[in-house]
Amino acid sequence: MSSFQHLHNDSLTTSPALLRHLVAAATKAKIDVDELLLGCGINPDKMLQSHYRVPVAATVQLLQQYGHLLQDEYLGLLSSPVSVGYFRHSVLSVIHQKTLGSALQRYSEFSNVFIKGLSFHIAKKGRYIEATFLREKNSKIVDDVAIDIAMATAHRLAGWLCDELIILDKATLDFAPPNYHKEYRHLFYGAPVHFNCQTNSLVFEARYMDLPVLQTEKSAEAYVKRAPLDMYLPQDVHGENSRIIRKKIKSSIANNHFNQELSEIANEMGVSSQTIRRRLAKEGTSFNSIKSQVKREIAMNALGDIGLSIEEVAVRSGYSEPAAFIRAFKSWTGISPAKFRKVINSKT
């Protein structure tokens, strides 16, 4: 029986169609996907239902076990496997760079040595940065979802390095919309996505490249452990106002001010609460939505650090009472924080 029985409307979930693409190499590798699904608490029959969504904890568990069976961090989707340990070493290779720009340049150099079939390049074009992901000639990509993985991974890594949400101006893809195309609102944080383009790219403002790298080797180890979780954490930050509100909420929680209200932030900004609500609505989000997502993000990041107790994770996430944190966490994932920690720290 599935462990995920009590999911709510704000639950973190993944499209079954996307998962099917991610395990596209299973047949060639002679892996029984249905058996693997069952082992992760996922009913294979439900995967064919149009309204079914897979809990994020089950998604992470499935991809970790599948990648372990293949011994390939790109899930068998490229022409040659990417050795286990690649992502950890790629992160460690950039962690001591001073700015995001130099870190991304180092990351592209590292990736292009170890990943075959898809090359990563960064170029400045006016006030924008274009990060391109090019198919290499004579190299076969099993499924285009491999390009999504590469692009989302680089985007998440960039934001994590400088502890700043990188707002994308657009994403371009050189293939037609897949049957999981609605998931792009999560993969690229609501940025406009253009299909059937000449290249695969992420475009964002060049100002981000000057941000300092804030992470350490210790935080890097926790970050690597929770991969690929970050790909499935949605963010309703589609503009400058939502970015500012997100940053203020995150700062407030870091200073142990757990119950900051919209009115307090409005006073800080010198505008009315209604003005902020109207601005956020234009960007497709709300104060409560951003606040909830910040808490979820902090919680799931902190659970990757096994040195923190559940009580400490609760406090870091903006909850003064562990019981309230556990209830909220179960509503997001369907399981307890302790069980989720076991999933993301599993060595399979």
Element (H, E) at 68: helix 56-70
Structural domain includes residue 279: yes
Return d(Cα 237, Cα 250) in angstroms, integer: 13
Give me the pLDDT at residue 260, please.
79
Q: What is the mean pLDDT of the chain?
A: 90
Residues 58 and 118 in one domain: no
CA distance 221 to 225: 6
Q: Residue 199 has what pLDDT?
A: 96
Q: What's the domain count of the chain?
A: 3
CB 4 within 8 A of CB 41: yes
Copy the structure tokens of residue 302: 């902190």
| 66 and 118 fall within a common domain | no
Mean pLDDT (whole number) for 24-46: 93
- Is residue 25 classed as helix, strand or coil in its secondary structure? coil
pLDDT at 92 over 50: yes
Amino acid (one-letter) located at 307: G
On whether residue 226 sits in a domain, the answer given is no
Domain co-membership, 119 together with 172: yes
pTM reported for the whole predicted model:
0.87
User: Are both 250 and 309 inside the same structural domain?
Assistant: yes
Same domain, 112 and 137: yes
Residue 301 forms part of a structural domain? yes
pLDDT exceeds 80 at position 264:
yes
pLDDT of 259 reads: 77
Helix (H) or strand (E) holding 125: strand 118-125
Domain's final residue, options 141, 176, 210? 210
Residue scoring higher pLDDT (150 or 234): 150
Domain coverage including residue 42: 13-70
Residue 38 lies in a domain: yes
Residue 231 lies in a domain: no
Give the domain CATH number at 304: 1.10.10.60
**308 within a domain of the structure (yes/no):** yes
Q: 157 lies in a domain?
A: yes
The reply to whether 219 falls in a domain is no
Q: Does 26 share its domain with 127? A: no
